[in-house]
Amino acid sequence: MNKNQKQNFAFKMGIASIAIQFFLGTSDAFSEGRIDHADSLFNAGKFTESFRVYESVLEDGNYSTEMLIRMAYIKEGLGDYSNALYFLNLYYDKTSDKRVWSKMQELAKEHELKGYNYGDVDFLVNFYRQFRQYILLALAFLSLALMVGILRNRMPNKPRPVSIGIVNLMVLLALFALFNYSTPSPKGIIIGNDTYLMSGPSSGSEVLDILQKGHRVDVIGKYEFWVKIIWEGKEVFIRKYKVRQLG
């Protein structure tokens, strides 16, 4: 590649970068405009119209946490508590707001739903899910700092940095385990009544139980028309359209 070709390539890459940034900025501004429009409809009491706009924004992936609360409010008002729980759960996953979790537990208790128990482990799992990339990055920097310390101490007439090496090894093992094995199973909300729990991903499989909407479950596998979930400690299968996955 000669000098002129390199310059042309750099120019084209620069133009492409500017175009991408412009597109992303325009997309964000467009989403904000739609959210503002939906907010005005919501404040005017036009809940059905506002929900349609909120839902289109959510499908595009550019949304605010505040609109999730409004979507949950609308669905609860319509008696659709399963989707209300879905939007509340999305909000909680982004904020770890315990007040929202209390609201979810309130709805779960009212409708006798399972999957909404909350403890310290659940809080830590959700915290890790929120900040996973930052935790991994912090461990990587810590390991790098320890390696620098090891290299600095490997000087003549200085003791070997065994303790630092052991700590660094533990950090590396933790980093490896968290990176490869610690992704929590996604949750899902059952959104359809008379949901059949099947022993296999086939309509000819044995029916193990029938659930009503609103229960929260762990989603551990996906098939063409089915998902594998955990229900009361057992692996079962349900139709894909009967569950709305979180995250």
For the chain, domain boundaries: 3-110, 120-181, 187-245
| Integer Cα distance of 74 and 186 in angstroms | 25
For the stretch 39-72, pLDDT in tens is 999 999 999 999 999 999 998 877 889 999 999 9
Q: Which value, to the nearest 10 degrees, does the dihedral of the CA atoms of residues 218, 222, 226, 231 take? A: -20
Q: Are 241 and 192 in contact (CB under 8 A)?
A: yes
Return the CATH architecture of domain 187-245: Roll (2.30)
Q: Which residues pair with 190 in a beta bridge?
A: 243
pLDDT band at 134 (very low <50, low <70, confident <90, very high): confident
Token pair of 205 as six digits = 């499989």
- In 3D space, the residue among 109, 113, 93 whose CA is nearest the CA of residue 231 turns out to be 113
Helices 47-60 & 3-43, crossing angle to 10 degrees?
Answer: 160
The backbone region for 233, taken as left when phi is positive above 0, alpha when psi lies in -120 to 50, beta otherwise, is: left
- The pLDDT assigned to 7 comes to 47
The total of other beta-carbon atoms located within 10 Å of residue 86's CB is 25
| Integer Cα distance of 238 and 198 in angstroms | 6
Q: Measuring CA to CA, how many Å separate 115 from each of 39, 152, 164, 172, 187? A: 31, 51, 43, 34, 9
Task: State pTM to two decimals.
Answer: 0.68
- The pLDDT assigned to 69 comes to 95
pLDDT of 126 > 60? The answer is yes
Q: How many residues does the chain have?
A: 247
| Integer Cα distance of 124 and 202 in angstroms | 36
- In 3D space, the residue among 41, 66, 40, 71 whose CA is nearest the CA of residue 54 turns out to be 71
Q: Are 85 and 107 in contact (CB under 8 A)?
A: yes
- In 3D space, the residue among 27, 50, 62, 80 whose CA is nearest the CA of residue 192 turns out to be 80
pLDDT band at 166 (very low <50, low <70, confident <90, very high): confident
pLDDT of 224 > 70? The answer is yes
Strand duo 187-190 + 243-245: pairing = antiparallel
Q: Average of pLDDT values for 190-212?
A: 94
Return the CATH architecture of domain 3-110: Alpha Horseshoe (1.25)
Phi, then psi, of 183 in degrees rounded to 5: -70, 115
- The pLDDT assigned to 16 comes to 41
Residue with tokens 């086939």: 202
For the stretch 82-109, pLDDT in tens is 999 999 999 988 888 889 989 999 999 9
